[in-house]
Every structure is written in structure tokens, then in C-alpha cells.
Amino acid sequence: MKSLLGCQDAWEVVEEGFEEPTTTTGYTSAQTKALKEARSKDNATLYMLFRAVDESGFEKIASATTSKEAWDILEKSVQRSQSSQASASPNSSLRVGGHEDERVEKCI
């Protein structure tokens, strides 16, 4: 996922995040233009994240309003998943080919 965002020059947006200013009063035209560009880049990045995940992932991030928020949700989801897998028995035998002596150690 980082590669996808990186090749689109969008990873920086995820890392730094985008925060909508409470007011733009007093912004110069250059500042207004920069804000529009930053907002647009964040929206494009959020869209890429929406498109890159499966239905389950989309349901988790659908309410996110920024790409950083969506990424943080996905990251926490993966960490929880890995944590629950690690707490399960780390080794379980899996019979291969139906023979008792053909066992493979399977990491859960």
C-alpha cells in the first residue's frame, strides 16, 4: 500500500496528515491556492485508499474524512488482527495428503 501511495506522491499526505483550517480569513491568494492543492491531494489519497481495500476494509474507513485518519484505522485494524493471531496457538499440525507422517507446522 505504501508503494502505491508513494508512486503517486501521496505517502507524504498520509504521514503528515491534512487538517482543514477553521478559517481562511486573511489568506493570501497563494495560501488559498496551496490550501486547495493540499485538500485536493488529501481527497485523492483518501480515494486511493478506498479503492485499494476490500469491502471489509472499506467498511472500516468509510467514515474517515482524511487519508491519515483512514490509514490510522487500517493500521490499528492490522495490529489487532496480528495481535489476535499471535495469541492463538502459534503452532498447529496440519495433515497433508491424508498420511499421519506427513505433517506440516502451520503458523496461525
> For the chain, how many structural domains are there in total?
1
At 88 the pLDDT is 64
Mean pLDDT for 20-46 is 95
Confidence check: pLDDT of 46 > 90: yes
Beta strand extents in 1-108 (DSSP E only): 91-95, 103-107
The domain of 57 spans 2-107
Do 60 and 73 contact (CB within 8 A), yes or no? Answer: yes
Q: What is the residue-averaged pLDDT of the chain? A: 83
Residue appearing with cell numbers 499526505: 13
Average pLDDT over residues 39-44: 96
